[in-house]
Amino acid sequence: MGTSYSVVITRLPENSSEQAIREGIESLLEEVNQQMSTYRPDSELSQINQSEARVWLDVSPELFDIIRQAILISQQTNAAFDITVGPLVNLWGFGPAEGLPTGRPTDEAVESARALVGYQHIELDLINRRLRKPFRGLYIDLSAIAKGHGVDVIANYLDTLGIRDYLVEIGGELRGKGISPRGDSWRVAVERPESGQRQVYKVLNVSNIAIATSGDYRNYYEYDGTRYSHTIDPRTGMPVVHALASVTVLSREAAIADAWATALMVLGERAGYELAEEKGLAAYFLYKKGDEFLPLETTAFKRLTHDWE
């Protein structure tokens, strides 16, 4: 997944060792990568991306389920979230290819990449768990949801081991349960969304919840004075530009939180906030006003975090 992970548990279960749990986690993450990474040419997803048009492809249960969940979120966000955005991600230099582009892609290049994008092109056979692409260039990119899914996989594994207290994190997406080694709730910081520094903006006391943050302040590049974010608006084909600097979403499952954080990042602090309220999502927005960052909390976020304080 091109990032690091961490797992904190407070107590080892009986008949288990740190080494055994570590190996269990590593092999599960290896499996997720082998299913969903676009950075591995031989992953199951890469094979789908390279496959011929109009043939039914068998899909593993986990990959099928993540694609299905991603499509549901596309439907609910009017395609602001779209896992077929891959050709645009690659064009703007945020895909698996080495190096960043030396300049802004031409309008023609953006248009021809955009013509390949659209989640409704993915055809799913729910009965036989198969997938079909109408044209060869359809390219699925799960980077906005796979880290969250990896967190869920580890959390479920720790649950089956009977571990009651843990905090699991992959690349900043988290899921916590029970209590921290200090004996009270886990404390998770929302960063001040500024590049080149790591400062705490707000601390969340959390338990039994997943948290994901999307932002434009870590993964971007600048060209000719313009910042190009790795979040792409599939509707325009362009990296998003607005005052929204980061969105944090709380949900039961990390995959859902991860995907919605990216979706709200595309929509921005107005449309995103409105949709989050409408869907009852617990979301925390930080947007830039002048030189300051201002927070915006949905009703569900206030309710959830208030309970913990």
Interface positions with Mg ion (CB under 5 A):
144, 258, 261-262
- In angstroms, give the least distance from the CB of 213 to Mg ion: 8
Would the CA dihedral through 81, 84, 87, 93 be positive or negative?
positive
Nearest residue to 280 via CA among 265, 266, 295, 260: 260
Q: Does 258 bind ligand ADP (CB under 6 A)?
A: yes
- In angstroms, give the least distance from the CB of 171 to ligand ADP: 7
162-221 residues near ligand ADP, rule: CB under 6 A? 214-215
- In angstroms, give the least distance from the CB of 66 to ligand ADP: 12
- For 47, 160, 240, 249, 299, the CA distances from 208, given in Å and listed in that order, are 36, 15, 32, 14, 19
Q: In this chain, which of 43, 231, 248, 305 binds ligand ADP, going by CB under 6 A? A: 231
| Cα-based torsion angle of the residue sequence 38, 39, 42, 48 in order, rounded to the nearest 10 degrees | 10
Q: For 9-48, give the DSSP string.
A: ESSPPTT--HHHHHHHHHHHHHHHHHHH-SSSTTSHHHHH
Residues pairing with 177 in the sheet: 166
Q: Give the SS3 label for residue 233.
A: strand
Specify the amino acid at residue 236.
T
The interface partner of residue 44, options being Mg ion, ligand ADP, none and the CB cut-off 5 to 8 Å by kind, is none
| Token pair of 156 as six digits | 């479920």
Q: Does 48 bind ligand ADP (CB under 6 A)?
A: no
The helix (H) or strand (E) run that includes residue 89 is: helix 86-91
Q: Does 141 bind ligand ADP (CB under 6 A)?
A: yes
| Token pair of 77 as six digits | 């966000």
- In angstroms, give the least distance from the CB of 265 to Mg ion: 8
Residue nearest to Mg ion (CB): 262
What binding mask, one character per residue, do residues 265-304 give for ligand ADP by CB under 6 A, x or -? Answer: -x--------------------------------------
**Between 23 and 111, whose beta carbon lies closer to ligand ADP?**
111
**Between 69 and 231, whose beta carbon lies closer to ligand ADP?**
231
9-28 residues near ligand ADP, rule: CB under 6 A? none
CB 144 within 8 Å of CB 262? yes
Ramachandran region, residue 290 (left: φ > 0; alpha: ψ -120 to 50; beta: rest): left
Q: In this chain, which of 32, 71, 232, 267 binds ligand ADP, going by CB under 6 A? A: 232
The interface partner of residue 210, options being ligand ADP, Mg ion, none and the CB cut-off 5 to 8 Å by kind, is none
- In angstroms, give the least distance from the CB of 235 to ligand ADP: 9
CB 240 within 8 Å of CB 268? yes
**Between 214 and 298, whose beta carbon lies closer to ligand ADP?**
214
Q: Does 143 bind ligand ADP (CB under 6 A)?
A: yes
Task: Count Cβ atoms below 10 Å from residue 10 Cβ, excluding itself.
Answer: 15
Residues in contact with ligand ADP by CB under 6 A are 81-83, 85, 89, 94, 141, 143-144, 214-215, 230-232, 234, 258, 261-262, 266
